[in-house]
Amino acid sequence: MRTLQRTLAIIKPDAVSKRAAGHIVSMILENGFNIIGVKMLHLTKEQAEGFYAVHAGKPFFHSLANFMSSGPCVVLALEKEGDAIPAWRKLMGATNPANAEEGTVRKRFAESIERNAVHGSDAEDTARWELSYFFAGYELAK
Ligand code: CMP
Domain 4-137 maps to which CATH number in 3.30.70.141, 3.40.50.2000, 3.40.640.10, 1.10.3480.10?
Answer: 3.30.70.141
pLDDT (tens digit per residue) in 62-117:
999 999 999 999 999 999 999 999 999 999 999 999 999 999 999 999 999 999 99
Question: For residues 105 and 109, what is the distance between their CA atoms, to the nearest angstrom?
Answer: 6
Q: Cα–chain-centroid distance for residue 86?
A: 13
Pocket test for ligand 1, best of 99, 114, 130, 133 (most atoms within 8 A of CB): 114
Q: Is 42 a catalytic residue?
A: no
In this structure, the dihedral spanned by the alpha carbons of residues 81, 68, 122 and 131, taken in order and rounded to 10 degrees, is -50
Residue 121 Cβ contacting ligand 1 at under 6 Å: no
Overall average pLDDT of the 43-56 stretch: 98
Other beta carbons within 10 Å of 66: 13
Annotated domain spans of the chain: 4-137
The predicted model scores a pTM of: 0.97
The atom of ligand 1 lying closest to the CA of 122 is 2
